[in-house]
Amino acid sequence: MKRLLDIEFHKFRYSKSSIVLTIIYLVIVVLMMLSGMIRIDLNGFNGSFSDLGIFNFPLVWHISTYFTSFLKIFIAIVLVSLTANEYSNRTIKQNLIDGLSKKELILSKLYLALSLAILTTVVVFIASLILGLIYSDFDEPSIIFSQMGYLGAFFLAHLVFFCFCLFAGILVKRSAFALGFVFVWYIFEGILNLLAKGVDTFYDTHIYEWLTHILPLNAMSNLIKQPFTKIDLVESALNQISVEGMDFGYDIEWIDVASVCIWSTLFIYMSYALLKRRDL
């Protein structure tokens, strides 16, 4: 495993685009941290994001994982281009001839995806911890380290997305088209969702609810639910309106966890099967 990681990080380290995108990712995370300090002067309203209480423990875990989730596209581009470029430079062929087995090749990519998922989780953890320590109204360790499940969900969401991108890279072989494939798949899931909602309203079925758990990108984004209505200001406003039937769940559902784990395994296995069958 150490050898495979070493091989993969060697490729990662000397690829300019990978390094640039990873730096962009880190810079944006830091900028988002700093945004908490910006004071806004608007129509007599004077305050900053931190005054909303969004950096309070343990809410900060939920907020930060939710808002940094979309950034995974940067890391995904890195993974897709690293994988697809192996095809366009035909280095994948040379790797095999040099004595890497097809299994090792997929494993090394999986290890890279795992490491990047761990890395992003750690970065977000540290960033949120610092933000929380600066702005949080509560600082008892028992409160700080509660609801850490969101970080686990964050990790899983990244892992399944990276595995998906890996599979797209191997399936399509060209980085631009592979990213296109990921995007098209995203739209495809959106259309399925709409159709399901339509069918549900007409036939009183629950297809949509199932789709949100079953489709990979749905399950991924469903892992961490929106935290807006948890913010004090919004919550109190909603309470005043007190709309009937407004019931928000924030918990990570086990079915989503299971779903993304199964999808991750499937993507890796399908990548392996594809590579094994193919003549290079």
Stretch that binds another protein, among 6-14, 22-30, 65-73, 113-121 (CB under 8 A): 6-14
Instruction: Provide the minimum distance between the beta carbon of 201 and another protein in the complex, in angstroms, as a whole number.
Output: 48
Name the residue nearer to another protein (CB basis): 102 or 158.
Answer: 102
Told to check if 10 binds another protein by CB under 8 A, we report yes
DSSP states along 137-154 = S---HHHHTSSTHHHHHH
As beta bridge partners, residue 85 has none
- How many residues bind another protein (CB under 8 A)? The answer is 26
**What residues contact 98, with CB distance under 8 A and at least 6 apart?**
none
Told to check if 98 binds another protein by CB under 8 A, we report yes
Q: Contacting another protein (CB under 8 A), which of 24, 32, 73, 100?
A: 100
- Please state, in angstroms and rounded to a whole number, the distance separating the CA atoms of residues 161 and 155: 10
Q: Contacting another protein (CB under 8 A), which of 26, 32, 52, 96?
A: 96
As beta bridge partners, residue 47 has 40
- Please state, in angstroms and rounded to a whole number, the distance separating the CA atoms of residues 20 and 34: 21
- Please state, in angstroms and rounded to a whole number, the distance separating the CA atoms of residues 273 and 27: 37
Instruction: At 41, give phi and psi (nearest 5°).
Output: -110, 105
- Distance set, CA 108 to CA 83, 90, 148, 152 (Å): 11, 17, 29, 23
Q: Contacting another protein (CB under 8 A), which of 50, 65, 68, 95?
A: 95
DSSP 277: H
Instruction: Provide the minimum distance between the beta carbon of 5 and another protein in the complex, in angstroms, as a whole number.
Output: 10
- How many beta carbons lie within 10 A of that of residue 95, not counting itself? 19
Instruction: Provide the minimum distance between the beta carbon of 96 and another protein in the complex, in angstroms, as a whole number.
Output: 5
Position 153, amino acid: A
**What residues contact 31, with CB distance under 8 A and at least 6 apart?**
none
Instruction: Provide the minimum distance between the beta carbon of 21 and another protein in the complex, in angstroms, as a whole number.
Output: 14
Q: Contacting another protein (CB under 8 A), which of 70, 93, 133, 195?
A: 93
Told to check if 3 binds another protein by CB under 8 A, we report yes
Instruction: Provide the minimum distance between the beta carbon of 102 and another protein in the complex, in angstroms, as a whole number.
Output: 8
Q: Contacting another protein (CB under 8 A), which of 27, 39, 40, 94?
A: 94
- Please state, in angstroms and rounded to a whole number, the distance separating the CA atoms of residues 160 and 194: 23
Q: Contacting another protein (CB under 8 A), which of 30, 40, 70, 101?
A: 101
Instruction: Provide the minimum distance between the beta carbon of 11 and another protein in the complex, in angstroms, as a whole number.
Output: 7
Kindly list the residues in this chain that would bind another protein in the complex (CB under 8 A): 3, 6-7, 10-11, 14-16, 89-91, 93-102, 104, 276-277, 279-280
